[in-house]
């Protein structure tokens, strides 16, 4: 994604495109997988942890990131590419490797429909599969 694409994505979600926000969004996009705050901090040396966290908090408020509870060491953040302000059209399954502790996007695996009992209202779905990734199975990590 180009810098201009990132600026347009921020604007689409109502987020003012400051230099720090563009950098955080660009790192999330470049990773190609959900990242934790500590992983982002290790990748972005020019912004302190609190600055990164403020950007992520704002992104969350504006539905620009998916916050994924991976069941491992906390939460991870993934840039949202939805083209609809009201409905997330890019929700997919995630895979958490219990060996290397990485979270992968399984973008071609859609979350199956969930039928809730009467009176329940769904706001979000977090579909996480846990196991061992192909690289760990081969001993590459």
Query: For 1-141, where are the E strands, in sequence order?
Result: 65-69, 75-79, 93-97, 103-106, 128-131
What residues does 97 pair with on adjacent strands?
A: 131
The pTM (predicted TM-score) of the whole model is: 0.76
> Is the Cβ–Cβ distance between 109 and 92 less than 8 Å?
yes
The per-residue pLDDT of the chain, averaged, comes to 87
Per the model's pLDDT, the better-predicted residue between 70 and 93 turns out to be 93
The total number of residues written for the chain in this structure:
141
Q: Which residue in this structure is represented by tokens 């760990």?
A: 136
pLDDT tens digits, one per residue of 11-56: 988 999 999 999 999 999 999 888 999 999 999 999 999 999 999 9
Per-residue pLDDT band at 114 (split at 50, 70, 90)? confident
User: HSE-up of 138 (CA within 13 Å, CB side)?
Assistant: 4
User: HSE-up of 76 (CA within 13 Å, CB side)?
Assistant: 24
For residue 59, pLDDT over 90 is answered with yes
Q: What is the pLDDT of residue 71?
A: 65
Q: What angle do CA 53, 29, 42 make, to 5 degrees?
A: 50
């Amino acid at each position: 994604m180009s810098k201009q694409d990132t600026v347009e994505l921020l604007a689409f979600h109502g987020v003012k495109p400051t230099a720090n926000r563009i950098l955080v969004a660009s790192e999330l996009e470049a990773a190609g997988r959900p990242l934790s705050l500590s992983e982002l901090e290790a990748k972005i040396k020019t912004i302190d942890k609190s600055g990164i966290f403020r950007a992520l908090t704002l992104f969350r408020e504006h539905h620009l990131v998916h916050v994924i509870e991976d069941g491992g060491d906390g939460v991870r953040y993934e840039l949202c590419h939805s083209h609809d302000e009201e409905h997330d059209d890019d929700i997919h399954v995630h895979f958490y490797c219990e060996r290397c502790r990485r979270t992968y996007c399984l973008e071609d695996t859609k979350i199956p429909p969930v039928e809730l009992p009467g009176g329940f209202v769904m706001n979000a779905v977090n579909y996480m599969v846990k196991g061992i990734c192909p690289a760990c199975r081969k001993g590459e990590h």
